[in-house]
Structure formats: structure tokens, C-alpha cells
Chain A
Amino acid sequence: MNSQTFNKLTPYMFMAPAVIIMAIALLYPLGYMVYGSFRDWDPSQSISETEFVGFKNYITLFFDPAFRESLSVTLIFAFTVVIAEMVIGVGLALLLDRNIRGMSVLRTLFILPMMIAPVVVGLMWRYMYHPTVGTFNRTLKSWGFEGVDWLGQHALLSVIIADIWQWTPFIFILALAALQSLPRSALEAARIDGATGWQQIIYIKLPLMMPVLIVTALLRLIDAFKVLEVILVMTEGGPGLSTEIVALRISRTATEFRELGTAAAMSNYLLILLLFFTLAMFAFTRLQEARAARLARQVQEEG
């Protein structure tokens, strides 16, 4: 091997360990899952003993009302929590973007929920929602109201509230970071130009934060589609299918119904959905970069 080809190969040799680990840890299970989704597969069988069934698993799922129900619960859950979290998180960031005494303590308090393990969050909210001894109903009753059947009649709303409680801080810190990196002088110019507080938010702050907010929302959306532990602990998908999100259904299909092929196919549906959002996010950032590069080029050409 002459030194020139050796030099060319050097970077790939350095990359090799990472590539090998990625391949084993990421691509192998993914490939296994895709392969398995085309087979009729019971957990007692090894994968080589299974029967190839083509797209049967996918087609069955597509017409399965339970899976469709699960998918619509997931969509409702994901979009509701992300919209609510965006509104509350960005609102809080706008409110707390100022220097008052004790603000750093307040900010730390706000991001605490995010740091709690999801299972703990689930347990905590399950106890708070408990129909007789839970905090909410006891408080309501002490005020003379009727208790609410939180995890029964309003199960989806209740898990949505818990998720908003846990993940609003994520939006909050990112929005706050975006706010604090805004050009101060542009805001000062807006104040001199006559913008009121609201007008500054609507015409200057939000438009300038938008790139960060869009990426944040997409990240949260991707995450919300995969939520599992909190709901598992709080409702186990019930009552009925009212809170059975896709991730939960996948886990039950694999463990309770022992249909690994169907579970794999379901995972792939979810994967395709998430891939769509991820690609949307990439496309968005690429678009931004391309626009910035085009502007820079335009300036350079004019000298």
C-alpha cells in the first residue's frame, strides 16, 4: 500500500470503531425488527423457524380498528401535549426573561419535573389522581365540589396533564435560551420605535425565536410519540383503549398477545411516522442554512 492511499484511508480507520458499534447497536436490531415484521413469529420460536408472511402483518394492522384507535389516541395525545407545552413553555419564558431577585432559583424549580424519572412521575400522578385519597379529589371535596373520576372518565386528559407538567420545562429552558440570545439592541430599537410589550413579543421576539421553537416542537413531538412509562404506570392504557398509545400497544402485543411479527410491524409504522417528522426537522434546518449561505454569497458577490 503506498502512502497516499494509506493517508486517504486514515480517517476511515479512525471512524471504524464508532461505525462498528453503531452498526451493532443500532442497525442490527433495526434490521432484525424489519425482518421480523414480515414473519409470523411467536416468542417461543427462534426467528429461523418462523414463516414468511409478506405484508400480512402490515395489512392486518392497517384494517385493525384497535390499532387505528391506538394510533389516533397517540396523535391526539402528541399534538395536544406539544401545543399546550409550547404555549405554556414559551409563555413562561417570556414572563421570566428578566432580572429579578431569586430568578435563578425560580428557573431551577421550573425545570425540576424534567429531571424526575418517568416511572416516578407516573406513580406520583397516579396517587394524586386517586379517586378517594388523591390530592386533587380531597382538595375538591374540601372545597365542597364533587370529586372527578380522573383516571376513569377523563383518563386521556389526565395523562395529558401529567405529560404537560413534566415536559413544559424542556420547552421553557430552550425558549428562554433562545430569548436570551436575541439581539438586545434590536429589542431596544423596537422600544424606541414605539413597540409596546405585546408588540415586541409579536413582531420581534417570536419571529426571531421561531427557528429554535420549530426545532423544539419537532423534538418534543418525536418524543411524545414514544411516550410509554408514565401512561403505563398511570392507566396501563385503560380504561378500554382510551389511553392506549402505540408504544404501549406494541409492548402489549409482544408480551401479552405474543405476536412478535405484528409488534415489529407496528414499530415500523411508528418508525415511519417519526422518520417523517425527523426528516421534516432536517429539511427545516437545511433550508435555514441554505438561506443564510445564499445571503452571505449575495453580499460577497457584490463585494
Chain B
Amino acid sequence: MFTFENVYKIMNLGSAVESMPKIRLDKLIKRYGAVQVLHGIDLEMDEDEFTVLVGPSGCGKSTTLRMIAGLESVSDGEIYINDKPVSHLEPKDRGLAMVFQDYALYPHMDVARNISFALRLQKRPKAEIDAKVREVAATVGLSEFLHRKPGALSGGQRQRVAMARALAKDSDIFLFDEPLSNLDAKLRGQMRAELGVMRQNVHKNMIYVTHDQIEAMTLADRIVVMHGGYIQQQGKPEELFKRPANKFVAGFLGSPPMNFLDAELKSDGDQLFAAGDGFKLAVPSELAATLGETAGAVTLGIRPSDLNYDPDAADDVALDLRVTVSEYIGAQSVLMCACGGASVTVELKSETPIALGETLRFAVRPEGIHLFDRKTEKAL
């Protein structure tokens, strides 16, 4: 049967066989004195892949990117670009372009000179440089501002200059270090969309660091979730969203974040149940089949989007939640509820009449049940 999903699979398989990984990190380690901040990062990025490194502050994502760029030294391990080790090379000899969080424009040069700096250093012919600057400036919508200094540009325009400067270099690899985090929310959304469009037209390896999981989900071919100097999980956005490898990834991706409840696994006849303070949910048979003999104590994870308001749901597929806080955010309201001693967040259409303190019944979508080992926090 012809589906786009199949086409996608075939294409992906094909490309995986043909192309060599463009960038490979091999047991990359970073130490500052006695403190180790990266603990052996192994990562392969395919040709033309848009890889997003995402994680909370201090997880090592920016350090990893800066090591690839050559701005931080490598304590141990190696970085390969096109199978060539590069960790001993200067940044300028690695053939990459980078967009910085604070844009890093040269304040004393106008937009045109900012964009053309790398080309001028390469002593390219003036006509070629001018043509390139005009072309790139047009791509990012800066043509009218070529003779402005960065000080006379708004945040969004500066961001575009940084982008244009990276594009003008014709590098094979683009690095982005939280490029949108200095912009206000509206502009960030707009620039994110523009980046997405640019992504369609520019077929290069891109590595993008962000702490914003929405940027990560919307832009990435491959998401790499990092935490505490380790890679927690990597893969396609939907893969990570649907099958998080551990509790951290499950809680990090998705907004509002996943709810976690302490539960015990109990068999009752053929059926396996996850029971806790005030609930007893049937574990779907597909999931139960993969569990095997596991200890009883688990963490139950359910995303707010997998909880649907349904007063008529059966006991073993539903949670009874007492509303404690309601946040109106337009069409939807986000409800903070109590489920026994735990707190659970759900989303609800705003027109549903509810009162604080009321107990409501929410049906759990069977595929929305995630179980994690309570000790190792690994997905079961």
C-alpha cells in the first residue's frame, strides 16, 4: 500500500546505506580541572541532517557544540568530520559556520561588512563578495539595511545578520548555539518558522543547540536529549515523544510535561494493573507482554494530552482527579489536580463547566501509559 510513511521509510533506509556519517563524536569527554562535564558522548550525524541537542541548562549541550566548533578543547575522545579527526584543528580550518546566542556581530562593521568578513579574509574578488552579500542579504530580507551598523538594528534584524553571515561562508556544517533565545516570544515563533523554511532550501549538516523543546521538536530530523553530561536518548522527534527511553526524556519533551505517579504492578487474573493512591489502571496487554517478570514498584507516566475528560469511563481506564488550580489560556485550560497525594496536570476545553474542588473523571488512552522502573528510571 502506498503511504507517505512508507516512502519516508524507504528514503531513509536508502540514504542510511549510501552516505557516510558526516560528523561523528567518539567518546567525547570534557573536563574543567577535576570536574568532568561530558562523560563520553558518542554521536553520529548523517549527511544533511538537522540535529538538535536539547537539554536543561548545564547538561553539556553547548559545550558539545563548542567542542565541535573548536572553541573548546577536547579533553578526551575525538571528533570526526567526513571521517577525518579534527580535534587538533583551529576553528577556521574545520569548514563550519556558527550562529551565536548573542549574535556575536562585529559592532564596528556595517551589515555588509559583517556578512562579508569571512570572504574578505579569504581575499575573494570584490565583485564576487558584493554579489554574495547581495544574494544572502536578499535571502534573509536585509537588503535595505546593508549599510547599518548592528547598533542600529532590532534584535530580529541582528539575528538575521548572524544567519546571513553564516550562510555567506558556504560552509558544509552549520552550528547554532541557542540562536533564538534572546528574542521575544512572538519573534521567536516567527524566526523558528523561517528557520524551518531555510532548512528546506539549504541542504547542509546543521547542529542546533537549544533548551526549548518546542524548537527541538519542530526543527529536528534527529533530537539528542542530554542531561548531566550524558546523552539520554536520540532519535526522530516522534520516536522520542512516543517512546521515551527514560523518565527524564519523558518529562523533558512535551508541554505541559508528563505526569508521574507512583504505582505498584499487580496481577489480577490475566490482567495486569498499575495501582496507586486512588487509582487502579489496567496495563494494556501489548505493554504487559513486554514487561516479563518485573518488580512491583514502578513510576506511571501519562501525558496531559492522553487524559480525556470522560465522566462515563470505566474504573480501570480512568483517573479521578480533584481540581485544585485552573489556568485559563484561551481555548484550553490547564488544570492542576490532585490524585491521591500526587499532582496531575490535565488539559480541558475551556467551555467545560468545572468548579475548583470538584472531582472529575479522566479516561487514559491505553497507548498513553508509560511505565518506568522506580530505581533506574528506565522505561519498561
Q: Is B107 a contact partner of A193 (Cβ separation < 8 A)?
A: no
> What 1/0 mask marks residues of chain B from 85 to 120 whose CB sits below 8 Å from any chain A CB?
000001110001110111111111000000001100
Interface 0/1 of A248-266, CB less than 8 Å to B? 0000000000000000000
The digit string for A189-203, where 1 denotes a CB below 8 A from any CB of B, is 111111110010001
| Cβ 8 A contact of B105, one of A186, A199, A298 | A186
A185 near B121 with CB under 8 A, answer no
CA distance A298 to B152 in the complex (A): 6
Given contacts A194-B121, A299-B153, contact A189 B92 (CB under 8 A): no
Question: Can you name the residue of chain B whose Cβ is closest to the Cβ of A195?
Answer: B121
Contact pick for B90, options A191, A203, A208, CB 8 Å: A191
A169 to B122, CA, bound (A): 37
| Residue among B103, B117, B122, B154 making CB contact with A302, cutoff 8 Å | B154
> Are B117 and A185 in contact, CB atoms less than 8 angstroms apart?
no
- Point out which of B97, B102, B104, B149 has the most chain A C-beta atoms below 10 A from its C-beta: B104
Q: Which residues of B contact A190 (CB under 8 A)?
A: 106, 117
Nearest first, the 7 closest Cβ-Cβ pairs linking A and B are A185-B104, A193-B118, A189-B104, A194-B92, A295-B152, A295-B151, A207-B108
Q: Does B69 contact A (CB under 8 A)?
A: yes
**Contact, CB under 8 Å: A192 / B108:** no
Residues of A within 8 A of B96 (CB): 192
Q: A193-B92, A299-B151 are in contact. List 10 more A-B contacts (CB 8 A).
A: A183-B102, A185-B100, A185-B103, A186-B106, A188-B104, A189-B165, A192-B92, A193-B118, A196-B92, A298-B152
List residues 152-178 of chain B with CB under 8 A from any CB of chain A.
152-154, 165, 169
From 184 to 240 in chain A, residues with beta carbon under 8 angstroms from any chain B beta carbon are: 185-186, 188-196, 199, 203-204, 207-208
Q: How far is the CA of A246 from the CA of B233 in the complex (A)?
A: 76
What residue of chain A has the Cβ atom nearest to residue B69's Cβ? A192
Q: Are A204 and B104 in contact (CB under 8 A)?
A: no
Asked whether A183 lies within 8 Å of B154 as measured between CB atoms, the reply is no
User: For A195, what are the chain B residues with a Cβ–Cβ distance below 8 Å?
Assistant: 92, 117, 121
Residues of A within 8 A of B91 (CB): 188, 191-192
Q: How far is the CA of A190 from the CA of B153 in the complex (A)?
A: 20
Residue of A nearest to B93 (CB): A194
Q: For the complex, what is the distance from the CA of A296 to the CA of B152, rounded to whole Å?
A: 6
Contact of B71 with A by CB under 8 A: yes
A191 with B92: CB separation less than 8 A: yes
State A55–B329 Cα separation when bound (angstroms): 83
Q: Is A287 part of the contact surface with B, judged by Cβ < 8 Å?
A: no
Instruction: Give B125-168 interface residues, CB cut-off 8 Å to A.
Output: 149, 151-154, 165
Contacts of A203 in B (CB 8 A): 106, 117
- Nearest residue, chain B, Cβ from A188: B71
A63 CB to nearest chain B CB (Å): 47
CB distance from B256 to the nearest CB of A (A): 33
Q: Is the CB of B121 within 8 A of A193?
A: yes
Residues of A close to B154: CB separation below 8 A = 299, 302
Asked whether any CB of chain B lies closer than 8 Å to the CB of A290, the reply is no
- For chain B, give the interface size range: 20 to 34
Is there a chain B Cβ closer than 8 Å to A292's Cβ?
Answer: yes
Say yes or no: A295 contacts B71, CB within 8 Å. no
Q: Whole-angstrom distance from the CB of B97 to the nearest CB of chain A?
A: 7
Q: Interface on B for A, CB 8 Å cutoff?
A: 69-71, 90-92, 96-98, 100-108, 117-118, 121-122, 149, 151-154, 165, 169
- Which residues of the other chain, A, contact B101 by a CB distance below 8 angstroms? 185
The interface residues of chain B lying within 8 Å CB-to-CB of A185 are 100-104
Instruction: Tell whether, in the assembled complex, residue A189 and residue B151 are in contact, meaning their CB atoms are under 8 Å apart.
Output: no
- Contact check, B152 vs A299: say whether CB atoms are below 8 A apart: yes
> 27 pairs across A/B with beta carbons < 8 Å?
A183-B102, A183-B107, A185-B102, A185-B104, A186-B104, A188-B71, A188-B91, A188-B98, A189-B98, A190-B106, A190-B117, A191-B70, A192-B92, A193-B117, A193-B165, A193-B169, A194-B92, A194-B121, A195-B92, A195-B117, A195-B121, A196-B92, A208-B107, A208-B108, A292-B151, A295-B152, A299-B151
A188 to chain B, nearest CB (A): 5
Nearest Cβ on chain B to A297's Cβ, whole angstroms: 9
**Complex Cα spacing A194 to B105, Å:** 15
Q: Which residue of B lies closest to A296 (CB)?
A: B151
Of all chain B residues, the one with the shortest Cβ separation from A292 is B151
Shortest CB distance A190–B (Å): 7
A186, A190, A203, A295, most chain B CB atoms within 10 A: A186
Q: A192-B69, A194-B92 are in contact. Are A186 and B107 (CB under 8 A)?
A: yes
Q: Check B118–A295 contact: CB distance below 8 A.
A: no
Task: Check B149 against A188 for contact (C-beta < 8 Å).
Answer: no
Q: How far is the CA of A199 from the CA of B92 in the complex (A)?
A: 12
Contacts of B92 in A (CB 8 A): 191-196
A188 to B165, CA, bound (A): 14
User: Shortest Cβ distance from B134 into chain A, in angstroms?
Assistant: 19
Q: Do A295 and B149 have beta carbons less than 8 Å apart?
A: yes
CB A292 to nearest CB in B, in angstroms, measures 7
Contact between B107 and A194, CB atoms less than 8 A apart: no
The CB with the most chain B CB atoms within 10 A, among A192, A194, A195, A207, is that of A192
CA distance A246 to B219 in the complex (A): 71
Whole-angstrom CA separation of A292 from B108 in the bound complex: 12
Write out the residue numbers on chain B whose beta carbons fall within 8 Å of the beta carbon of A292: 151
The 0/1 profile, CB within 8 Å of B marked 1, for residues 263-303 of chain A is 00000000000000000000000000000100110110010
A62 CB to closest chain B CB (Å) equals 43
Distance of A197 from chain B, by nearest CB (Å): 10
Q: What residues of chain B lie closer than 8 Å to A302, measured between beta carbons?
A: 154
Q: Which residues of B contact A192 (CB under 8 A)?
A: 69-71, 91-92, 96-98
Question: Which chain B residues lie closer than 8 Å to A186 at the CB level?
Answer: 104-107
Query: Inside 8 A of A188's CB, which chain B residues have their CB?
Result: 69, 71, 91, 98, 100, 104
Looking at the assembled complex, report how far the CB atom of A231 sits from the nearest CB atom of chain B, in whole angstroms.
Answer: 39
A186 to B91: give the CA distance in the assembly, Å: 14
Closest to A206 in B: B108
Chain A residues 81 to 136 lying within 8 A of chain B, measured CB to CB, are none
